Structure 1
Amino acid sequence: MNLVRAELLKIRTTNTWWLFGLGALVTLALAFLVNALNANLTLSGPQDVEGLPEEQAAQVLASADEVYQAANLFTSGQYFGLLFVLLLGIIVVTNEFYHQTATTTFLTTPHRTVVVTAKLVAAALIGAFFWLVTTVLTVPATLIFFAAKGWDAHLGDWDITRAILLNLLAYVLWGVFGVGFGVLIRSQIGATITAVVLYLVGTTAANLVFFLLQQWLEQDWISKLAVIVPSTASSLMISGTELPGNPPQWVGAVVLIAYAVVTSAAGSLIMRRRDIA
């Protein structure tokens, strides 16, 4: 726990955490606004699905549900929030090399696995903190919005509770991803730029590839493979209701947990064998 506190102190004593926190709050506000407008449009009247393919029409009709839209609002800001948590997880590791404190850290605590474990725990706690702040803001905002529209937010229903708790799991696991990514690429600038490009561009590109393969081979199951993309798995986890044609929420959780196990194990092995000097 002393090592974990030390890692958290390293983050608190730099300006990075509150800059990322401010960015997460701004994107949260924008995401909530977009989700509220979408909920208002979706729940205000019947959905026109004429001419749409059967599965797509079923998804549109399933999304016109108070539970689905409420879960979407309660977990607003996840997309960019996870990106900021990922970057903070990267900085937990790369700060050691950027500020040239890695040698001192490992001389003080020679057991590198213990140090990496402390960094993983610290990154997970940072993710949980971001989740807590965003949830504290989105829950009352959603309740006010739904009450003003005369809808039931269903807070306390298991579907809503599950979405909120799985959102917590996503934030924690993405902090772990960041540590593994930072171990892989020690350059702070290189790691952060690569992570941002992979997260924003790579996600879109991967989903496009799966869509094109589905259209080309005319096999609907191919589109479900997009859940192997971490950001897509995170989005799947927070859906209040299961949409037709989509994998269950637990599949997204399993995918993220598998990534977390692999990245944390790989990070520990690499850090143990790598020359720090």
Structure 2
Amino acid sequence: MTTATLEPATAPARATAAPRLTFGRLLDAEWTKLRTVRSTVWTLTAFVTLSVGLTALICLAAAGELSAADNDEPVGAFVTWGLLFGQLAALVLGVLVASAEYSSGMIRTTLAAAPRRWPVLAAKTTVLTGLLLVLGTITSVASFLAGNYFLSREGIGLEISDPEALRALLGGGLYVAVLGAFGLGLGVLMRHTAGAVTVGIATIFVVGNLVNLVPGAFGEWLMKLMPGNAGSAIANVEQFNPELLEPWVGFAVFAGETALLLAVAGWLFARRDA
């Protein structure tokens, strides 16, 4: 007769804990998506090329007239002139960071991996603005040096150590960083690239000039508070329009408008289906 021996029950293997989704991992994911998309490279190349190239061209063409004794144009407004057009690329990049995921369906994968939507929006904003702040500052310096070279040949060059010049060079990076966040807010809000870019261009470039047609003090303040007019002042050594807000005041207004747009976009982002 044999005696049955009971084998001790083997404890089930403990499941490997999934790595915790931290904000750092979200930043890494957003940075990977941003730098591996071809549109990012082309958009940033256009930003640098337009900003530096057009500044050099306008200063080359206008330096002779600016040096004339009867000239009343603000010379400092020309040394970052190309940024007026390069900023369009920063706006488009901001829109694409959000809208491209909707058009490709990638947003479903993103939200499946990170269901909490506010941290996702915060990570997108942080990566985008960080990149544009660095590249925008470098581009502003390059634009200043390129344009100032031709102005200096006519004896009207500016000193880069001048406080207003230093403010404008740092301000160029700050402005395009917040402008990119503005585009991101539009992209999240509208979820359509063409529509968001159209609204962004109209708001920054078109409406800001059309409000000059509104009569009285209300029209004057409306013109000052439009996002493009308020924000761009910080990126220029001097202003073509002396009626605009002071540079830091205008930038604070623009940053507040962008924060409000992102808050509205984030609120909808957290409640709408992907």
* TM-score in terms of structure 1 length: 0.79
Question: How many angstroms does 1:175 deviate by?
Answer: 1.2
Secondary structure at the counterpart of residue 273 of structure 1: coil
The CA distance in 2 between the partners of 1:141 and 1:177, in whole Å, is 28
Q: Do 1:113 and 1:272's aligned partners in 2 also have CA atoms closer than 8 Å?
A: yes
In the alignment, is the contact (CA less than 8 A) between 2:59 and 2:147 conserved in 1?
no
- Conserved? CA contact 2:209–2:223, under 8 Å: yes
Q: CA separation of 1:133/1:18 partners in 2, compared to 1, >3 Å: closer, same or farther?
A: farther
Match of 2:253 in 1: 255
2: CA distance between counterparts of 1:82 and 1:240? 16
Partner of 2:164: 159
For 1:44, the equivalent position in structure 2 comes to: 68
The alignment status of 1:111 with 2:116, answered yes or no, reads yes
Cα displacement string for residues 195-221 of structure 1 (whole angstroms, at most 9, x for unaligned residues):
334444x33xx42332x334xx5x5x7
SS at match of 2:37: coil
Secondary structure at the aligned position of 2:223 is classed as helix
Which amino acid in structure 2 is aligned with residue 213 of structure 1?
V
1:90 counterpart SS class: helix
Matched, 1:207 2:204: no
Where do residues 105-144 of structure 1 align in structure 2 (5 Å cutoff)? Answer: 105-144=110-149
The one of the two structures with greater contact order (alpha-carbon pairs below 8 A, sep at least 6) is 1
Distance 1:140 1:244, change over 3 A: closer
8 Å contact 2:50–2:83 — kept in the other structure? no
Identity %: 26
Structure 2 length as normaliser, TM-score?
0.80
User: What runs of 5+ residues in structure 2 fail to find an aligned partner?
Assistant: 1-23
State how far apart, in whole Å, the 2-side matches of 1:35 and 1:145 are.
6
Give the SS at the match of 2:214: helix
Three-state SS of the structure 1 residue aligned to 2:78 is helix
Distance 1:43 1:114, change over 3 A: same
Q: Does 1:30 align with 2:54?
A: yes
Q: Name the structure 2 match of 1:7.
A: 30
| Structure 1 residue 161: Cα displacement | 0.8
2 CA distance for matches of 1:187 and 1:244? Answer: 36
What corresponds to 1:101 in structure 2?
106
Equivalent residues, number: 249
| Range that drifts further, 243-252 or 224-233 | 243-252
Mapped partners of 1:190, 1:245: distance in 2: 31
Within-5 A mapping of 1:56-67: 61=72, 63-64=73-74
Q: Where does residue 230 of structure 1 map in the other structure?
A: 227
Q: 1:132 & 1:124 partners in 2: Cα distance?
A: 12
1:168-224 Cα distance to aligned partner (Å, 9 max, x none):
211110111111101111123332344334444x33xx42332x334xx5x5x7435
CA contact (8 A) 2:140 2:173 kept: no
Bigger fraction of residues in helix: 1
CA-atom RMSD, angstroms? Answer: 2.4
Residue type at the aligned position of 2:37: T
Contact 1:116 1:267 in 2 (8 A): no
Gaps of at least 5 residues in structure 1 are 48-60
